[in-house]
């Protein structure tokens, strides 16, 4: 199977309604089934189903097949490093397009985060991330909560990409025109649920619309001959959001599958050689093996002494095992080299500390952590577009919900008020983050921004709300002290003291002392 990323599905239709929904669906299914077959292959490959690309023709009775499964190692690293911490939401800034009060926006973002936590978004994100990293695409489904219990007003689910897809307009803007998810019953019937901005269609076997009412014209003649007319979409927006890992929609290990297959062959052949040496075929020359009491010639067995006799004058009897002597050390080094190259191509760092006296920055670059961080940053920018679309769907639900009071900060919250932040573990410890935060705060950086810049983990918005009063009092005391020391009560001086200059200098120095304390690096 040749893999070049999942194909995006397009339609030339300007409007999708009950008159053309079936033709659009069936056209889309042609491309989706190609994607579905590739997705199934990638999911099985990551689980370890990696057939060897060669047939063993010499001594076929010894055919050890080893799957090193580097694909799983790459996937697990991506899930831990890129997605190990929940995606968090903070207020974008005090001065934004909405013109809302910053304190009100802080409360709204915090309330939204509480709803996400109630719905288990962190766990759902891990499920979504697995599909995104392995298959290159993932799908999140959001709907109005059917039974409101005083918390979240929406529900979220992760869809298997083998049974979900989105159709886009065939133009430069690629606007989502329709989203579909389907199920297959035990009897083999297929039920498709298709969402457009205006309607929801339940379609059986791709040929009949089974929800809504039958539409007739003014003469009472049936307009739709292939079913009913669907139902109105209460949200006015497509509730299924497609996530892409990269613009070519490939999985995190997809490009290196040929390298992984080659590694599996190398490891399997090495293991086979060990087995064949253990179960060697014996070779004898100029000897006659003794016969047993039953008259049968005794066969040589591993670890057994065999007595032989010379059959003629001048002969040199020999007996030995037939085995090809490999350069085992060289093969093992080649296996390690090929494995490291695959990990390097997949932007997975070496998780063992290299020897020598390298500085922290040099070690970070040589072991691949810098490449891993760059790759994660690139991916997060692509994922952010889908997260914004998810927020748009949720905002629609919040605006339509009668369970949220009209004067709630959530009703006035705008998407532009929310900053999406991806938090990742870095190869330095919390002491550096704390020192960085303290330096920013003591030099006038707004507290919430200081928390973001120093890469503090957890729910930054909630941490800021709980800490805001103390941080602002601390900053005010620093300013007052500087005023008193300078004798100028008319302005706030920002000249650093000697101790502050020393602290900032130490922060700017190389972090060589942090690598050994990193919780990520293993010995």
pLDDT of residue 78: 96
295/19: higher pLDDT: 19
57/492: higher pLDDT: 57
Lowest mean pLDDT among 153-157, 225-229, 482-486: 482-486
pLDDT of residue 303: 54
Read off the pTM: 0.81
396/301: higher pLDDT: 396
For residues 503 and 435, the answer to whether their CB atoms sit within 8 Å is yes
pLDDT of residue 519: 44
**Ramachandran sector of residue 303 (left: φ over 0; alpha: ψ -120 to 50; beta: rest):** left
Residues in the chain: 523
For residues 205 and 188, the answer to whether their CB atoms sit within 8 Å is no
Whether the pLDDT of residue 30 is over 80: the answer is: yes
Phi, psi (5° rounding) for residue 165?
-165, 165
Beta-carbon-side half-sphere exposure of residue 242 (alpha carbons within 13 Å): 27
Calculate the dihedral angle through the C-alpha atoms of 41, 123, 178, 218, rounding to the nearest 10 degrees.
130
Radius of gyration of the chain (CA): 33
pLDDT in tens, 158-202: 999 999 999 999 999 999 999 999 999 999 999 999 999 999 999
Region 223-245: mean pLDDT is 94
pLDDT band at 361 (very low <50, low <70, confident <90, very high): low
pLDDT of residue 308: 61
DSSP track, 309-357:
EE-STT---EEEEE-----HHHHHHHHHHHHHHHHHHTT----B--SS-
Whether the pLDDT of residue 309 is over 80: the answer is: no
Instruction: Give the whole-angstrom CA distance, residue 87 versus residue 458.
Output: 9
Q: Which residue ranges make up each domain of the chain?
A: 9-252, 256-354, 428-513
Summary mean pLDDT of the chain: 85
Whether the pLDDT of residue 475 is over 70: the answer is: yes
pLDDT in tens, 246-275: 999 999 999 999 999 999 999 999 999 888
pLDDT of residue 492: 45
pLDDT in tens, 319-346: 777 666 777 888 899 999 999 999 999 9
Phi, psi (5° rounding) for residue 94?
-70, -30
> 342 burial class (0-12, 13-18, 19+ CB within 10 angstroms)?
buried
CA-based nearest residue to 159, from 178, 134, 184, 142 = 142
Region 453-471: mean pLDDT is 80
pLDDT in tens, 367-383: 788 899 999 999 999 99
352/50: higher pLDDT: 50
21/424: higher pLDDT: 21
Phi, psi (5° rounding) for residue 140?
-115, 135
pLDDT of residue 466: 84
Query: By percentage, how much of the chain surpasses pLDDT 90?
Result: 54
Q: Where are the beta strands (DSSP E) in 245-315?
A: 281-285, 287-288, 309-310
Q: Which residues share a beta bridge with 168?
A: 10, 176
pLDDT in tens, 89-127: 988 766 555 556 667 788 899 999 999 999 999 999 999
Look up residue 226 and give its two tokens.
Answer: 């292939």
* 419 membership: H or E segment, kind and range: strand 418-421
Whether the pLDDT of residue 357 is over 80: the answer is: no
C-alpha distances (whole Å) from 192 to each of 24, 141, 159, 235 are 13, 15, 13, 19
Q: Determine the angle formed by the axes of helices 21-47 and 70-81, rounding to 10 degrees.
A: 110
Cα four-point dihedral sign 269, 273, 279, 284: positive
pLDDT of residue 314: 65
Give the three-class secondary structure for 168. Answer: strand
Region 400-426: mean pLDDT is 89
């Amino acid at each position: 199977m040749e893999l070049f990323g999942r194909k995006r599905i397009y339609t030339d239709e300007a409007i999708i309604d009950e008159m053309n929904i079936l033709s659009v669906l069936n056209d889309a299914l042609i491309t989706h089934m190609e994607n579905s077959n590739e997705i199934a292959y990638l999911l099985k490959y990551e689980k370890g189903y990696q057939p060897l690309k060669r047939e063993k023709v010499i001594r076929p009775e010894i055919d050890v097949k080893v799957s090193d499964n580097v694909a799983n190692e790459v996937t697990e690293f991506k899930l831990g490093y890129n997605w190990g911490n929940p995606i968090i939401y903070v207020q974008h800034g005090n001065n934004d397009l909405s013109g809302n009060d910053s304190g009100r926006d802080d409360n709204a973002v915090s309330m939204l985060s509480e709803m996400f936590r109630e719905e288990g978004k962190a766990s759902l994100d891990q499920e979504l991330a697995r599909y995104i990293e392995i298959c290159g695409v993932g799908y999140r489904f959001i709907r109005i909560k059917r039974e409101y219990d005083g918390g979240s007003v929406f529900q979220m689910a992760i869809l298997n990409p083998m049974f979900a897809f989105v159709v886009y307009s065939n133009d430069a803007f690629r606007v989502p025109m329709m989203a579909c998810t389907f199920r297959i019953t035990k009897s083999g019937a297929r039920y498709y649920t298709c969402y457009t901005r205006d309607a929801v269609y339940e379609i059986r076997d791709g040929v009949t619309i089974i929800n809504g009412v039958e539409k007739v014209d003014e003469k009472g003649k049936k307009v739709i001959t292939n079913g009913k007319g669907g139902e109105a979409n209460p949200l006015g927006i497509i509730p299924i959001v497609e996530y892409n890992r990269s613009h070519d929609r490939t999985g995190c290990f997809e490009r290196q599958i040929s390298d992984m297959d080659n590694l599996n062959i190398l490891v399997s052949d090495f293991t086979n050689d060990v087995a064949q040496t253990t179960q060697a075929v014996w070779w004898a020359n100029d000897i006659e093996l003794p016969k047993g009491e039953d008259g049968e010639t005794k066969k040589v067995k591993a670890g057994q002494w065999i007595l032989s006799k010379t059959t003629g004058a001048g002969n040199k009897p020999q007996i030995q095992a037939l085995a090809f002597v490999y350069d085992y050390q060289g093969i093992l080094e080649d296996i390690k080299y090929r494995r490291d190259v695959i990990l390097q191509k997949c932007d997975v760092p070496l998780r063992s500390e290299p020897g020598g006296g390298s500085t922290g920055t040099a070690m970070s670059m040589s072991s691949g952590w810098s490449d891993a961080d760059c790759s994660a940053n690139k991916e997060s920018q692509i994922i952010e577009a889908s997260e914004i679309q998810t927020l748009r769907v949720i905002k629609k639900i919040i605006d339509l919900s009668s369970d949220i009071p009209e004067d709630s900060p959530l009703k006035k919250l705008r998407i532009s008020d929310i900053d999406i932040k991806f938090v990742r573990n870095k190869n330095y410890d919390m002491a550096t983050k704390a020192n960085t935060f303290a330096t920013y705060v003591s030099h006038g950086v707004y507290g919430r921004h200081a928390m973001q810049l120093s890469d503090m983990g957890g729910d930054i918005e909630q941490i800021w709300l709980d800490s805001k009063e103390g941080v602002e009092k601390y900053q005010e005391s620093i300013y007052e002290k500087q005023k008193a020391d300078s004798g100028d009560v008319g302005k706030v001086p920002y000249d650093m003291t000697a101790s502050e200059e020393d602290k900032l200098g130490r922060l700017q120095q190389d972090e060589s002392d942090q690598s050994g304390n990193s919780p990520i690096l293993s010995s």
